[in-house]
Amino acid sequence: MDSIPANRRLWNRISGTYQREHDPRIGAAPRLWGMYSIPDAQLRALGDVTGKRVLELGCGAGQWSRALAAEGANMVGFDLSEAQLAAAAGAMGADRYPLVQGAAERLPFAADSFDLVFCDFGGLSWAPPHLAVPEAARVLRPGGRLVFNVASPWFEACYDEPAARVTMTLRQDYFGLDAIAEGDGATSYQLTYGDWVRVLRGAGLLIDDLIEPRPGPGTPNGYNETDPPDWAHRWPAELLWVTHKEEVL
């Protein structure tokens, strides 16, 4: 299934509303991960980026990219939506970096181009992982790192679609999540824990860590309603994968 055209239309349509709603929070401080804006200083997933060539795979309005560019990274922001890229260009600031439009499953970069590829609910949530992960691995240099945050299958399996909230009840088949309809033909993607491991290892990536970010019980979710409010303090809402590309001896 080619979800690229519909996903592009969706993000072009909702970009302005999304940024007005979320940029005051995610743009207010650097290196905030996920639905609960947990600092990378706490999770310690990304590491030092100074002097490294870095690709953000689904950069949106560039909140992460401009923060890392200010730290001395040689950034490239990449997104499917021209509206999102226009927002990134408008907010770029003094540290300039290139913006490239395209799909995560068809990266327009040469092999071994980057030291780090990362995303936070970006390209690896909105492109089929069995296509996008090998592409990310291809453009990494040997030893380079792929770090990405996605929703956990627990979160997706407990999502009550009619009520538009996450509950304590399992509602979807864990083994049948895969492609998730987002309306108007747009699609996001989810894998089981085992399938993530197989896709990553099949692309020649070694898993260094799997961080399950755990917000404090009073931390608000900036994107979804949960019942109870401390849902993600009790069960994993997100998976933050830390991997690197095998070096050929």
What value does the mean pLDDT of the chain take? 96
DSSP 112: T
pLDDT recorded at residue 110: 98
pLDDT recorded at residue 180: 93
pLDDT over 90 (residue 247): no
State the number of CA atoms in the 13 A half-sphere of 83 facing the CB.
13
The Cα 42–Cα 30 span in angstroms is 12
**What tokens appear for 227 in the block?**
């019942």
pLDDT over 70 (residue 1): no
What is the side-by-side order of every strand in the sheet holding 53-57? Answer: 99-101, 74-79, 53-57, 114-120, 140-151, 238-245, 205-211
- Please give the average per-residue pLDDT across 227-233, as a whole number: 97
Q: Which of 45, 186, 192, 232 is CA-nearest to residue 120? A: 45
Q: Specify the pTM.
A: 0.96
pLDDT over 70 (residue 70): yes
**What tokens appear for 1 in the block?**
């299934």
**What tokens appear for 249 in the block?**
């001896």
The Cα 121–Cα 57 span in angstroms is 9
pLDDT over 90 (residue 2): no
Task: Give helix 129-139 / helix 193-202 axis angle, nearest 10°.
Answer: 40
Cis bond before residue 228 (omega within 30° of 0): yes
Amino acid letter for position 118: F
pLDDT, one tens digit per residue, over 73-120 is 999 999 999 999 999 999 998 999 999 999 999 999 999 999 999 999
pLDDT recorded at residue 84: 98
